[in-house]
Amino acid sequence: MKRDQELIDILNQAIEIEYGALFLMPQHLARLQDEELAANLREACSDELEHAEVTARLILQLGGLPKGDFKLLKPMSSAAEMLRYHIEGEKRVIDLYQRALAKATMPEHQKILRKLLADEQNHQQVFTRLLGQVEA
């Protein structure tokens, strides 16, 4: 039971990051002129919504309640700032999904967490590549 509560706590931290990205992405998209960057952020936004939903379902399956402490998030103004913010969020959520995977005991939960982890690692790579283009 304690292991499940630790897993629930980790997943609730991940949900905060997923929802934080969802909150900021539309504001960031509205400020972008670069269509490639906007397309990548739109795709990531769609993924983050799915991740938040999947993570919430996982928490419920474990007997917990999805919750998050959402602080006021301020949108960034430049593309480089936006990308740095989202890269940092990806790093944090990757760490959380890795920790969750280490605590998960059910194979179906491990499979879900591996998928979430792979998606976030892909986002981090894409955002890092785009940041390199923006800063070049």
pLDDT in tens, 76-122: 889 999 999 999 999 999 999 999 999 999 999 999 999 999 999 99
Q: Is 127 exposed, middle or buried (0-12, 13-18, 19+ CB in 10 A)?
A: buried
pLDDT of residue 22: 87
4 and 62 in contact (C-beta within 8 Å)? yes
By C-alpha distance, which of 50, 53, 131, 63 is closest to 91?
131
pLDDT at 2 over 80: no
- Mean predicted confidence (pLDDT) in 41-63: 94
Mean pLDDT of the chain: 92
Q: Which residue would you say has higher pLDDT here, 127 or 32?
A: 127
What percent of the chain clears pLDDT 90, i.e. is strictly above it?
71
Domain 2-135 has CATH 2.40.160.20: no
pTM score above 0.85: yes
Helices (H), the chain: 2-31, 35-61, 79-103, 107-135
Q: Which residue would you say has higher pLDDT here, 72 or 109?
A: 109
pLDDT at 136 over 70: yes
pLDDT of residue 103: 94
- Mean predicted confidence (pLDDT) in 126-134: 94
pLDDT of residue 49: 92
For the chain, give the number of residues: 136
Tokens 């739109």, located at residue: 42
116 and 97 in contact (C-beta within 8 Å)? yes
Residues 6+ apart with CB under 8 A from 48: 18, 21, 22, 25
d(CA 18, CA 3): 23
CA-based torsion, 65, 14, 81, 26: positive or negative? negative
pLDDT at 1 over 90: no
Q: At what angle do helices 79-103 and 107-135 cross, to 10 degrees?
A: 160
